[in-house]
Amino acid sequence: MRHPTERAAGHAGRVRGPVAAAVAVAVVLAGGGTAAANDWVRIFHTEQIAPVSVGTADLIALPDLSAYGDVVVTGDGDVREVPDAAAAAARTGLDVPQVKTLPRGVGGEPVYQVGGEVSATFTFSAERAAKAAAEAGKPVPPPPPGLDGEQVRLVAGPGLAGIWSQPAGVPALVVGRAVAPKALSSGVAYEAVRDYLLSLPGLPGDVAALLRTFGADDATLPLPVPAERVTTSRARVNGVPATVLATRDRTLAAVVWVDDGVVTAVAGALDAGEVLAVARELR
C-alpha cells in the first residue's frame, strides 16, 4: 500500500487536467454566503447538477488552479475492486443500487469497485494570481480584503460502482453512487471571492458568464460538458430532477441525479432512453 503522501501526490497530478480543473473551479465558485472567520463553515452542498456546455477550446484553455494558489489533495480516492455488493456497501456506507432489468446486450454479473472520501484544499495566493496575470499580459485587480490566504475545501465521496463489461472489456453499463460534493471555507465574504476569481485572466469569458448564473443559494453543482461532443437534456428519475448526457454519435449516454446528498449515475454504451429506463427501475 502506498504512503498517504504518495497517494496525495498522485491525486494532485490528476486535478491538474483542464476538465478536472473545470469541475474544481465550478464547485468553488458555485457557493455563496459569509463564513465565520478562523473556522471551517460549509458554504456549498450539492442538491442538483446542471450542465454547463462549453467548447473544447474553452475546456483546454481553463486555467490550472495551481496558477492561483496551492492545491493539496488528501484522502483515499484510489479505486479498488471488492468481492461483491455487500463488501461495497460495507466499505462506503452507501446502499448499492440494484438493477431490476438489464438492457438488451448487457448480461452477466457486475464487478464492484469502491473509492474513499477525497478532500482538496485550495489556498488562494494574491502573489501567484498577480504573477499569472502578468504572464498573460493582463492587469489584475487588487483582491478583496481577507482573500489572500483564504482556503476553500472540496470534499467528495466515498463512492461505489457496479460495472458490466462487454467481451472486449469496455464497460457496457456502469451504475455508480457517491456522497455528493460539498465545499467549506475558512472565512471571507464568498460572493466577493466568486466574482474576483471569475474576473482573473485565463478563464474564458463565456465560461465565466455561465458560472455567474449559479446563485449563492441554489446548491447547484455546475458540470462542464464539451458542447461539440455531448448533448444534454433534463428528465426526472422517480420524481427527482436529473441530467441526461449523450454523445452526438449516440454511442454513449448517461443520466445523473442527486437525492438527499447522494449522487447516482447510470452510464454505458447505450442510448438515453435505455439509461433512463435502468435509472427509473433501480431498487
- Every domain of the chain and the residues it spans: 4-281
> Which are the contacts of 167, defined by CB distance < 8 A and separation ≥ 6?
none
Q: Which residue has the cell 491538474?
A: 16
Q: Which of 18-27, 55-64, 218-227 has the highest mean pLDDT?
A: 218-227
Question: Is residue 31's pLDDT more than 60?
Answer: no
Q: Which residue has the cell 441530467?
A: 243
Per-residue model confidence as pLDDT tens digits over 51-81:
777 666 665 556 667 778 888 888 877 899 9
Neighbour count for residue 161 (Cβ, 10 Å): 22
Q: Report the candidate in 212, 184, 183, 186 with the shortest Cα–Cα distance to residue 198.
A: 212
Range 211-214, long-range pairs (CB < 8 A, 24+ positions): 211/25, 211/26, 211/29, 211/30, 211/52, 214/29, 214/30, 214/50
Among positive and negative, which fits the CA dihedral 153, 114, 18, 253?
A: negative
| Predicted pLDDT of residue 143 | 82
C-alpha cell at 132: 499569472
- Could you tell me which residue, 178 or 49, shows the higher pLDDT? 178
Q: What is the pTM of this model?
A: 0.75
160 secondary structure, DSSP code: E
Contact 89, 234 (CB under 8 A): no
Helix (H) or strand (E) holding 14: helix 4-14
Question: Is residue 248's pLDDT more than 60?
Answer: yes
Per-residue model confidence as pLDDT tens digits over 74-102:
887 789 999 999 999 999 999 999 999 99
Contact 179, 114 (CB under 8 A): no
C-alpha–C-alpha distance, residues 43 and 28, integer Å: 9
C-alpha cell at 221: 453543482
C-alpha cell at 124: 488562494
> Which amino acid type is present at position 92?
T
| Predicted pLDDT of residue 212 | 67
Contact 106, 46 (CB under 8 A): no
66 secondary structure, DSSP code: G
C-alpha cell at 18: 483542464
C-alpha–C-alpha distance, residues 34 and 45, integer Å: 15
Mean pLDDT taken over the chain:
77
Contact 219, 241 (CB under 8 A): no
Question: Is residue 39's pLDDT more than 50?
Answer: yes
C-alpha dist (Å) from residue 186 to 85, 124, 151, 156, 199: 38, 11, 5, 18, 21
C-alpha–C-alpha distance, residues 128 and 134, integer Å: 10
C-alpha cell at 151: 482556503
Average pLDDT over residues 28-54: 55
| Beta bridge partners of residue 9, listed in sequence order | none
